[in-house]
Structure 1
């Protein structure tokens, strides 16, 4: 019987335990997996959001959805509500738009996106409200499913908000059931061989540890890929300016407070504030650019968002500095970086967990049972770097279309900070909506309709007037828009409140 390939995952947290569990599940017959976790290094995270792909990942791992929700204080997430991203608030006037997880309603009878674009801008409903039922459901604080519906499924697409520390424990428990060996110990050295690959790592508690493949999940410290292998970090701060977050948790003012069914992203003068509703608390964080805002002013903005009723002693925001960018190579010889050690862009759109999922899925499929362990490195690096670059463009889209007047926002609208690829797409989208042919599926984390929600939520103009005659079925389109409104109203009546469903799931324990 052939010897199993030994995998050493260095670092715990979401990245480490998700990697270990996924590889144990996919490679039980040919992989032997050990995870080394430091007892002295904590987990970053005060409340985290995800993308709908997480449901497929958790289901693949054999994790029970209801138990996951109970153990991680999780709630459902149906999208993101963007407050005040398009215009600077003035005279008490505010704006918002919604980015739902549901794709726009599709029919072969009519191109709803085009018919919406041809409607009168002064009277047409917001884009997400016109083409999906999810906008109405989420705004009404309804859940995306009913109690009797199956695990990881429901009439509406959804993801979760969860406590990151508790998620790591759930993943740890599952990984060990799947056969992962857990070692608690402090990494003290990484020794390279004559080829520049990792020969072994040295730990304070367990001495030398060797493996065929080392996976760096040590977070921003990047102990293997950065410090030991010295792989350069590529900054993208010339495009994405935020590099700080002040984060905290606050309790609800009452136990039965309504639960929002989306992440709130509220723009401010030099960035934005996230507001994530967990079962028993809200995770709130002020994301900002230190080039445009001081730490003291960021704390003022955070406290102002939370409300004047909470004094300075009641919250202790934690400063989380970060640099937007990624490692130029993420699989080098016998080392792969996953999670923050590979790269991080910013908290917007929950891309951190998405990139972990993408990386471990590729490792599981590309890692050969025999032969050179670095055989997939070139392809892995090509795919991951392309994903990072494309996510940079998607995130930049949220900023560069804004009409806000503050320096941070005007700097984001400067063409010099927009990639040639994104600028080319924007030029094309002035005369047609985004299409699936604009994107290569294996290189993307977001679909063409995700771009549509951001573009048209922020008031981007696509001029279809020259081809108006190509869309003569106005009455048919109007009937479909009316059906969507009706379905949305029915769903809002039929689906339980978000708080009620979460309480029922937790009571069922």
Structure 2
């Protein structure tokens, strides 16, 4: 079949590539633009190219995305093998394990508790750093709930609602299957085939693409979701990747999936565990049918063989008993993910690293922006400059947020020492860190349109890593009212642990 990827009389969109980026883009655009006359959406997918599956965790924004798509939460839990995620636990990031023990801190999704006239963060800073509880434990009940293995809600509560903020862990392959099925019900036309080339017109835009099964396909807008291959935005249009390897050093991962040991699933974790090692970190995600585990590292600081031994040691196995998949990536982004009639979303537009689930966060941000900016009339490239500016700024702010996790470490291995080098920290982040020596991060430090993380996300990382442990942070006394509020939060946390179901029971009830 040769011809246009869409129908006649309206604007047609051809998404090249499936995976999480392709099918989330297809379903979202179909939902957002489906009511507009003449808009057609086609997705071309090569069946032999599988989902990479690095990002098997999401951020709380995923709840709003699924709700918007019209996917029932319980159906999502069943179909995607999903579990609930209430944040991330960071082990050994501040310092390496020693005879004095290990350091651990939490980044919960629930913001610090707010009370009229009482700034709990300031009062926590005023307490003695040697005796006060950890920041996340002091200012939110979610730390206690997650540590106890409780779910963030009751099974009978409304879809995507609950007393605590949460996201999900999921099987990336099964999520893609769910999004594809849902996208087709929303009217997405699904073509199986492989892109073999593209032809540009006299102005340099894409005139049509060539496929192995469907001949030439044309569209008003081409969406490149071909992953790191970036076949259209990079291969055809020549937009180079801007590397941020000078700031974020990791560029490889060894990933595997393991079944639970007998009875281990009964204690289903409700957070991602991120454990630092000499040249990076290891993720450990609890899925419904097993654990997703991978070690992320910098090949400038650790070779593949040592990375395999590091992963095997984490798993308590011999290296020859572990058969992980090697994933490689260059941390960076394209300054112009939208050129002419082509826009790149997902890995084709850029990728930083798996930390904090930013891969899927950036897909969500890009597709929501594309949907809202989509030009139904006039030049198809009219929103490109605005889209590019916002996405570039978002990549830069996320790079700073991820760097924050590394540059505060006191580990003495070369990888960690290099991360603490001021030359590897952006001017913006260095300036903010200097200001935050005298006050907590606040909302005026950030421009919401280009931020994926709120000021309190920065607070959890800063204070979890001991940034406020030096003398002179705050000289204000802790008020009696603040002390009462701290005790009340502890009481509410204990009540929540008693009232909420175990995470395993919650997932089982929603799957039933």
Same fold (TM over 0.5): yes
Map residues 347-366 of structure 1 onto 2, 5 A cutoff. 347-366=354-373
Q: Is the 8 A contact 1:118 1:465 kept in 2?
A: no
Which residue in 2 is equivalent to 1:418? 425
For residues 449-470 of structure 1, the C-alpha deviation after alignment (integer angstroms, 9 at most, x for no partner) is 00000000000037795863xx
TM-score relative to the length of structure 1: 0.97
Ranges in structure 1 where 5+ consecutive residues have no aligned partner: none
Q: Is the 8 A contact 2:127 2:478 kept in 1?
A: no
Which residue in 1 is equivalent to 2:218? 210
Displacement, 1:257?
3.2
2:117 aligned with 1:84: no
Q: Which of 343, 346, 349 pairs up with 2:350?
A: 343
Q: Is the 8 A contact 2:55 2:359 kept in 1?
A: no
Which residue in 1 is equivalent to 2:305? 296
Q: Is the 8 A contact 1:46 1:283 kept in 2?
A: no
TM-score relative to the length of structure 2: 0.96
2:22 aligned with 1:16: yes
Q: For residues 236 and 300 of structure 2, what CA distance do their matches in structure 1 show? A: 31
Q: Is the 8 A contact 1:46 1:163 kept in 2?
A: no
Which residue in 2 is equivalent to 1:281? 290
Q: Which of 394, 408, 416 pairs up with 1:409?
A: 416
Displaced runs of 4 or more, over 4 A:
462-467
Map residues 245-394 of structure 1 onto 2, 5 A cutoff. 245-255=253-263, 256-308=265-317, 312-313=320-321, 315-394=322-401
Q: For residues 155 and 409 of structure 2, what CA distance do their matches in structure 1 show? A: 40
Q: For residues 448 and 286 of structure 1, what CA distance do their matches in structure 2 show? A: 28
2:9 aligned with 1:3: yes
2:117 aligned with 1:112: no
Which residue in 2 is equivalent to 1:102? 110
Q: For residues 101 and 254 of structure 2, what CA distance do their matches in structure 1 show? A: 26
For residues 217-239 of structure 1, the C-alpha deviation after alignment (integer angstroms, 9 at most, x for no partner) is 00000000000000011000000
Displacement, 1:46?
6.0
Q: Is the 8 A contact 1:77 1:261 kept in 2?
A: yes
For residues 131-150 of structure 1, the C-alpha deviation after alignment (integer angstroms, 9 at most, x for no partner) is 00000000101000011101
SS of 2:266's partner is coil
Ranges in structure 2 where 5+ consecutive residues have no aligned partner: 1-6
Displacement, 1:504?
1.7
Q: For residues 347 and 4 of structure 1, what CA distance do their matches in structure 2 show? A: 38
Q: Is the 8 A contact 2:89 2:272 kept in 1?
A: yes
Q: For residues 432 and 408 of structure 1, what CA distance do their matches in structure 2 show? A: 29
Q: For residues 284 and 474 of structure 2, what CA distance do their matches in structure 1 show? A: 42
For residues 24-51 of structure 1, the C-alpha deviation after alignment (integer angstroms, 9 at most, x for no partner) is 0000114200000002211101660000
Q: Is the 8 A contact 1:436 1:448 kept in 2?
A: yes
Map residues 141-290 of structure 1 onto 2, 5 A cutoff. 141-255=149-263, 256-290=265-299
Displacement, 1:3?
2.1
SS of 2:250's partner is coil
Displacement, 1:368?
1.7
Aligned residues: 503
Superposed CA RMSD in Å reads 1.5
Q: Is the 8 A contact 1:429 1:462 kept in 2?
A: no
Q: For residues 470 and 280 of structure 2, what CA distance do their matches in structure 1 show? A: 30
Map residues 51-70 of structure 1 onto 2, 5 A cutoff. 51-70=59-78
Q: For residues 397 and 421 of structure 1, what CA distance do their matches in structure 2 show? A: 12
Q: For residues 505 and 162 of structure 2, what CA distance do their matches in structure 1 show? A: 16
SS of 1:130's partner is helix
Q: For residues 49 and 188 of structure 1, what CA distance do their matches in structure 2 show? A: 32
SS of 2:306's partner is helix
Q: Which of 477, 484, 505 pairs up with 1:479?
A: 484
Distance 1:291 1:108, change over 3 A: same
2:158 aligned with 1:130: no
